Structure 1
């Protein structure tokens, strides 16, 4: 009897402790086929949806173009030193079929370009900022200094991978966040862009109504009590 009790208890404990969630890629894109504009970005979406059109803008909310020769990346034709910062908003909507998403990190490869849309051969000043909005309320903000100042010399690599730690930011099912990426820099002319966008986190399924671990535990206890009663008889 104790063997059966142990086996049944182990099964219920395993069921009740299993988390209905899995760490995964929530949203990603390598911007394949993006050239000249970003009106048809292809995304990999898991438990979220996002618009296929990205509209980079300057501080006056004027729409900007992408370099047509810098394919497969989001390279904005806008000199951030001479003409100021640019930003782009990415609206991420969580599926109503999940309970929530606990975000982990947002990473991307950022690059600097010359005014012809080719990768720079000398270092320029570049910072990338991430601000996340819940409606009109800012819930996250961080800035990474990617390249610091004008530096010439052999061996410079104009592309750098950066990562924002989202500190367990939670997006409830059915809600949305606006992810705003801003490129800025001073000193020396340069343009900027990014590639290999990767938003990771953990999606949690809605609590199941038909299969409840606590309910299963109650049924197990009642069954074991009935089994013990019959054995004693």
Structure 2
């Protein structure tokens, strides 16, 4: 009986330890099915839920269209040089079943397009910002210069993978957040978009499992002790 008690206790301890997992995918999309319609976006969601249809807007809050040249890109039909800056908000609600989510990084493929919605042949200046808000509070803000300046060099690749380091950002369970992407640039003119968005992090303190893990060991040991006592009596 005591051997079984030790084995069971070690098993619960191992489960508790395993719950402190390495960074995993919290949110992701390859935007398949978008084709000009942001309501068709399919998300992979882990302890979060996207609660909106992505609506790219100008700084004066006018809604914008997406190019329909591709079926798997979030490509905004708005020239960031000649017409201005645009932004899009991803509204996140975190699960109340976790106490928090420690974010790790957000990666995506950023691209530029000509006015026909086709990938640019030559480099055009393009920067992409990410801001994370909890209500009116800013939790994170960073800008990546995807392509710096204009040039007409041959062999230009209009897509570039970028990463935002979110290792100092935590989301509380059961709260609402905004991930805001802002596209802007200076130069000869181009449109912009992104693809293959992946947000990684670690979930903490599941109210159903992780929070109760230490207590589970106590409950298990108590239950086995009672069974042992009953057997002897």
- The alignment's TM-score, normalised by the length of structure 1, stands at 0.85
DSSP 3-state at the match of 1:98: coil
- Name structure 2 gaps, 5 residues minimum: 229-233
Match of 1:94 in 2: 94
Alpha-carbon offset, residue 158 of structure 1 = 0.4
Q: Distance in 2 between matches of 1:200 and 1:130?
A: 15
DSSP 3-state at the match of 1:39: helix
For residues 174-223 of structure 1, the C-alpha deviation after alignment (integer angstroms, 9 at most, x for no partner) is 112100000010011100000111111111222649954256359759x8
Match of 2:134 in 1: 134
For residues 77-116 of structure 1, the C-alpha deviation after alignment (integer angstroms, 9 at most, x for no partner) is 0000011110000011111122221111111101000011
Q: How many residues align?
A: 225
Alpha-carbon offset, residue 15 of structure 1 = 5.1
Q: Distance in 1 between matches of 2:144 and 2:22?
A: 28
Match of 1:78 in 2: 78
Contact 1:76–1:192 (8 Å) recurs in 2: yes
The verdict on how the C-alpha distance between 1:132 and 1:6 changes in structure 2, with shifts beyond 3 A counting, is same
Contact 2:104–2:200 (8 Å) recurs in 1: yes
Match of 1:162 in 2: 162
Superposition map of 1:28-47 within 5 A:
28-47=28-47
For residues 112-154 of structure 1, the C-alpha deviation after alignment (integer angstroms, 9 at most, x for no partner) is 0001100000000000000000001111000000101111122
Match of 2:113 in 1: 113
- Corresponding position: 1:123 with 2:123: yes
- Name structure 1 gaps, 5 residues minimum: 228-233
Deviating beyond 4 angstroms after TM superposition, the runs of 4 or more aligned structure 1 residues are 2-13, 207-212, 217-221
The verdict on how the C-alpha distance between 1:10 and 1:50 changes in structure 2, with shifts beyond 3 A counting, is closer
The 10-residue stretch of structure 1 (17-26 or 130-139) with the greater mean CA deviation from structure 2: 17-26
RMSD between superposed Cα atoms in Å:
2.8
- The alignment's TM-score, normalised by the length of structure 2, stands at 0.85
The verdict on how the C-alpha distance between 1:40 and 1:14 changes in structure 2, with shifts beyond 3 A counting, is closer
Match of 2:217 in 1: 216
Q: Distance in 1 between matches of 2:147 and 2:45?
A: 30
Alpha-carbon offset, residue 39 of structure 1 = 2.2
